[in-house]
Structure 1
Amino acid sequence: MFYISKILWGLAEPSTLLIALLAAGAVLLFTRFSRTGRWLVATAAVLGVIGGFSPLSTWLILPLEDRFPRADLSGRPIDGIVILGGAEDSRVAAARGAHALNMSAERMTEAAALARRFPDARVVFTGGSIEVLSAPTYEADAARHLLSDLGIDGERVLFDRQARNTAENAHYARRLADPKPGERWLLVTSGWHMPRAMGLFRKAGFELEAWPTDYRTIGPKDAWAPFASPGAGLHRLDFVTKEWIGLLFNWLSGRSDRLLPGP
């Protein structure tokens, strides 16, 4: 199921569909269906401009990023911290023997700051291999070296190398953490990913408090700001569309109790 979902999404993401429309139209221009070809090329151009320059993807990401505020860290102490993988470029890290982070790097830096702030809290990192066409490398291995170099004692961190998606993150993290009633656990992941993650963790029986990070907007003030480059707009459109499709699938399949989980 994991591999099928990866392949299907690779074919269905907006930027891929735009390229497919453009390529199909270009081919048809040299056939007796040239009129259809012109229509496809024009459609791809219009959709590319809308997706690449307009704030469409910002309108889609704002409800996700603003859904969960950060937990109030006063009061009872924090007993544990769960870090979701996705910030590590484990393939580059393994090949270069160096730390390699992507645009979600704040997942790791915020988690390390929390771990230092709450030295008695247990830490669980969950992230396995997501490669489909290449030899597997593991997010947990890259995270182990990074957290150690950031001053987090490896003895207090439990690493899950099996999870390949968020549903598996929830399953394996709960198994490793074995949370007790009354404990306070924080979930560290991207703000735009927090609703989907929370829905899956709750369904897995693991109640956590949100610590969103890796924000891509400053808030509602960004709602009408265009993108400076089409690549940036289409990149955001790709991953935020995936989030909404994931939310819908999890709700319809019973893996989450709500379409858009909230606090």
Structure 2
Amino acid sequence: MFFLKKFLTSLILPPGILIIIFLLIAVLEKKRKFIRFLAILSALFVYLISIEPVKDLLFYPLERHKAFEELNADAIVILGGGTYSVGSLNEDTLNRLFAGYVVYKKTKLPVIVSGGAIEGKISEAAAIAQMLKELGVESGKIIEESKSKDTSQNAFYVSEICRQKNFKKLILVTSAYHMKRAEKLFKKTGLNVLPYPADFKKSNHYNIYSFLPKFSNFALSSKAIREYLALLIV
């Protein structure tokens, strides 16, 4: 009964309902074979990126970094991953923040928080800095970089701060799936970075429910696909 409830729920809610619609189009479309083929292909694509094993498969090449045990550097940099309209941090940013805080507790190094404001909201840097202060990080140890709008600008503006402060080596804290691109962009500025990945998306634990389509998997798979596209232009 529990599995049946989960199964029916997965069909009624997106993306399951989209799969049903595509399959209905394929069944009802008798004349145009191309439309029928496209509907079946769309249903298969939506199903695959909505299940746990395929989501993990997409993240596997991205989440290959491991955190360095030797944390010898001049500063820590935490990259913002987004905020909500009220200025609260989203899940990615929160996970990065707490990983950065752990590094700070171990090293007591200065912390550069990087992320600008979008559409008039409070900047990611300001929101992260505020929470770090509430966690007990000294105000004098926090440096805000609030101009950047993307990872390329994160790297550029942080490198400017590092030149002013004479920082040569950074502990780079960001989501594991984002680390490959971030590390490349930071190294292009001439900075030496130690990756400290956070916010891992792979689960590596499956059961029968892992093969039911879920919106959370669909959203995460879309995030991984977007990251691959971004890597093409780095």
Normalising by the smaller structure, the TM-score range is 0.7 to 0.9
Give the gaps of 5 or more residues in structure 2: 1-13
SS of the residue corresponding to residue 65 of structure 1 reads: coil
Residues 138/104 of structure 1: CA separation in 2 closer, same or farther (3 Å cut): closer
Tell me how far 1:233 sits from its aligned partner. 2.1
1:105 partnered with 2:94: yes
Tell me how far 1:112 sits from its aligned partner. 1.4
1:72 partnered with 2:69: yes
Tell me how far 1:63 sits from its aligned partner. 1.4
Residues 34/103 of structure 1: CA separation in 2 closer, same or farther (3 Å cut): same
Partner of residue 231 from structure 1, selected from 196, 215, 225: 215
Alignment of 1:28-39 (within 5 A): 36-39=34-37
SS of the residue corresponding to residue 77 of structure 2 reads: strand
SS of the residue corresponding to residue 226 of structure 1 reads: helix
Partner of residue 149 from structure 1, selected from 116, 134, 153: 134
Give the gaps of 5 or more residues in structure 1: 1-14, 94-98, 251-263
SS of the residue corresponding to residue 152 of structure 1 reads: coil
Instruction: State how far apart, in whole Å, the 2-side matches of 1:34 and 1:60 are.
Output: 33
Determine the structure 1 residue equivalent to 2:80.
85
Tell me how far 1:212 sits from its aligned partner. 0.5
Instruction: State how far apart, in whole Å, the 1-side matches of 2:125 and 2:54 are.
Output: 34
Instruction: State how far apart, in whole Å, the 2-side matches of 1:125 and 1:246 are.
Output: 22
Q: Deviations over 1:45-77 (max 9, x none)?
A: 2221122126223112111112x2111226xx4
SS of the residue corresponding to residue 200 of structure 2 reads: coil
Q: Deviations over 1:10-60 (max 9, x none)?
A: xxxxx99xx7xx79x96xx89x97655444333322221122126223112
Q: Deviations over 1:201-229 (max 9, x none)?
A: 0011111101111111256x67x993544
Say how many residue pairs are matched. 212
1:40 partnered with 2:21: no
Alignment of 1:1-263 (within 5 A): 36-53=34-51, 55-66=53-64, 68-73=65-70, 77-86=72-81, 88-93=82-87, 99-119=88-108, 121-129=109-117, 131=118, 134-178=119-163, 180=166, 183-218=168-203, 226-250=210-234
The more displaced of 108-117 and 165-174 is 108-117
Instruction: State how far apart, in whole Å, the 2-side matches of 1:46 and 1:218 are.
Output: 22
Instruction: State how far apart, in whole Å, the 1-side matches of 2:84 and 2:190 are.
Output: 29
Q: Given the two structures, how large is their TM-score scaled by the length of structure 1?
A: 0.69
Instruction: State how far apart, in whole Å, the 1-side matches of 2:146 and 2:93 are.
Output: 19
What root-mean-square deviation, in Å, do the aligned CA atoms of Structure 1 and Structure 2 show?
Answer: 3.1
Percent identical pairs in the alignment equals 23
Residues 58/33 of structure 1: CA separation in 2 closer, same or farther (3 Å cut): same
Residues 46/54 of structure 1: CA separation in 2 closer, same or farther (3 Å cut): farther
Determine the structure 2 residue equivalent to 1:261.
none
Tell me how far 1:78 sits from its aligned partner. 3.4
Instruction: State how far apart, in whole Å, the 2-side matches of 1:124 and 1:80 are.
Output: 7
Instruction: State how far apart, in whole Å, the 1-side matches of 2:199 and 2:74 are.
Output: 23
Instruction: State how far apart, in whole Å, the 2-side matches of 1:78 and 1:201 are.
Output: 15
The more displaced of 139-148 and 206-215 is 139-148
Q: Deviations over 1:175-211 (max 9, x none)?
A: 1122647x54200001111111000000111111011
